[in-house]
Structure 1
Amino acid sequence: MPLFSVLKHHAFARGLGVFALACAGLPWAQAQDAGLEALRLEAQRWVNEAVQKSQPPGANLRMQAEVGPLDSRLRLAVCGNIEPHLPAGSRLWGRSRVGLRCVDGVTRWNITLPLVVKATGKAWVMRGHVAAGAMVTEADVMESEVDWAEDASPVLADRTLWVGQTASRLLSTGQTLRQGMVKPAQVFQAGASVRVLAQGPGFQVSSQAQALSAGVVGQLARVRMENGRVASGVVLDVRTVKIEL
């Protein structure tokens, strides 16, 4: 297979022009390395533009990406059109891959390069340990700068998504609060006496009832009213169920 070389493509014009100059008169090994580095640099430019558009909605993150080197033993055929792309199953987040493929050449090829994307911004971090099943309060966390992309699980940036909920497992000092680390708190068991807040257009009535299912804040629970009627409502707190009429 001939010495690695490529023709100019709109996304690669500047880098491959440099590659052509760098390879002139160089020994074979140095020319090979210069060509691979030119490809890496152009992949880096494509990724730099792409990651700026990949922020989670509403987040204000500092996005950084680093494309790793190609294997120096790689030999590629001449190509007239090379396209950068994101391989199937990859994303511009954390440790990933970015692809380069030849779409106009005698021999079509498709290669990938290692990629690390960091997304730095404010998030809630544990001040200390919280045992599994214990309620997470504002005193348990502090705001800090972290890499959101360090883990695939989404960051719980909105305090309403975690405050008053319980730890689904042991939470340790320095951990960033992420999805799956907390769950709604169970505040009463089936059989408990609860207050039902029945609400309709222009009125609100309060009465006593017996819980027929466990009560989890924010979720539905079944209750039996004093008149024997069974209804379902949203659990508001440790002893209140709200029913919309």
Structure 2
Amino acid sequence: MLRRTAFLLCVLLAGPGAWAQTVLDPALIERVRQLAETAARAAAPPNTRVAVEIGALDARLRLAPCRQVQPYLPPGMSAWGRSRIGLRCTDGVARWNVTLPVRVAVFGRAVVASGPLPAGVNLSQEHLALADIDIAAEAGAVFTDPALLIGRTLSRPLGAAEAVRAPTLKSRQWFAAGETVQVQAVGPGFSVVSEARALSAGLEGQEVRVRFESGRISSGRAVGERRVELML
């Protein structure tokens, strides 16, 4: 209550002209652009181009004048695609904190469908092509080598020139329940390899339980042909 009263008092003392329109200073917009570009480039593959499109604040906002506005990337906010950059007033009549919409495109060469492809198709070389696309336009990793996709199966249809992304592929089964698998236990500064029996089918990237000869049961991640990774 005291904070709210003090805030209202500051507004009254500042007078009716204290509230500014939501038009941002060009220098601040440039700082936002640089911040977004830097964050995007840190996660972008080599030989890609980053382009940032700055949106606008909500027109209903009326922000108190501020001598120092600090742009920042909010925790957990994506550096690619449609995102938001935070703006906080650190020196002004009132301390405010808002977010500004941005769209970050990352252009690079990636594998795309050479034509419309139905779900369930087993990919071959003729189904695939390379093109320059915005790899940040959708979620999911893209591929730069068509050879890595030969024999993989699509989980959903793709349009012509649409990127082949990891979520569009069916998960591979690396081993069946009951098979002997190689388990690599990885910890800080060490790695130990041993054998165990899979208690369930090992689907690519998914958790699987294994039983060691001692009878101990552990959970790891299926990472390859009869291979399980166990993080310690």
TM-score scaled to structure 1, two decimals?
A: 0.57
Distance 1:215 1:182, change over 3 A: same
- Which residue number in structure 1 is paired with residue 43 of structure 2? 54
- Which residue number in structure 1 is paired with residue 79 of structure 2? 92
Q: Deviations over 1:136-171 (max 9, x none)?
A: 011101111111011011112243542211112223
The aligned amino acid for 1:110 is: N
> 1:9-24 residue pairs with structure 2 within 5 A?
none
Work out which of the residue numbers 19, 40, 47 in structure 1 matches 2:29: 40
DSSP 3-state at the match of 2:136? helix
Could you say what the CA RMSD is over the residues aligned between the two structures, in angstroms? 3.8
Question: For the residues of structure 1 that align with 2:150 and 2:134, how far apart are their CA atoms?
Answer: 21
Q: By how many angstroms is 1:49 displaced?
A: 3.6
DSSP 3-state at the match of 1:180? helix
Q: Deviations over 1:38-77 (max 9, x none)?
A: 5434322332343333314xx3211010111224443222
Q: By how many angstroms is 1:106 displaced?
A: 4.8
Q: By how many angstroms is 1:131 displaced?
A: 3.0
Q: By how many angstroms is 1:182 displaced?
A: 1.6
- Which residue number in structure 1 is paired with residue 102 of structure 2? 115
Q: How many residue pairs are counted as aligned between the two chains? A: 174
Is 2:170 the partner of 1:171?
no
Q: Deviations over 1:91-110 (max 9, x none)?
A: 12111111111234452211
Are the aligned partners of 1:162 and 1:182 in contact in 2 as well (CA < 8 Å)?
no
Are the aligned partners of 1:138 and 1:163 in contact in 2 as well (CA < 8 Å)?
yes
Q: Deviations over 1:100-146 (max 9, x none)?
A: 11234452211111101111111111112333222101110111111
Question: For the residues of structure 2 that align with 1:45 and 1:214, how far apart are their CA atoms?
Answer: 47
Is 2:61 the partner of 1:74?
yes
TM-score scaled to structure 2, two decimals?
A: 0.60
Unaligned runs of 5+ residues in structure 1 are 6-30, 191-212, 218-232, 236-245
Sequence identity percentage = 39
Question: For the residues of structure 1 that align with 2:52 and 2:70, how far apart are their CA atoms?
Answer: 19
DSSP 3-state at the match of 1:152? coil
Question: For the residues of structure 1 that align with 2:147 and 2:171, how far apart are their CA atoms?
Answer: 11
DSSP 3-state at the match of 2:62? coil
Are the aligned partners of 2:128 and 2:146 in contact in 1 as well (CA < 8 Å)?
no
Are the aligned partners of 1:70 and 1:113 in contact in 2 as well (CA < 8 Å)?
yes
Unaligned runs of 5+ residues in structure 2 are 1-10, 178-199, 205-223, 227-232
Question: For the residues of structure 2 that align with 1:215 and 1:41, how far apart are their CA atoms?
Answer: 49
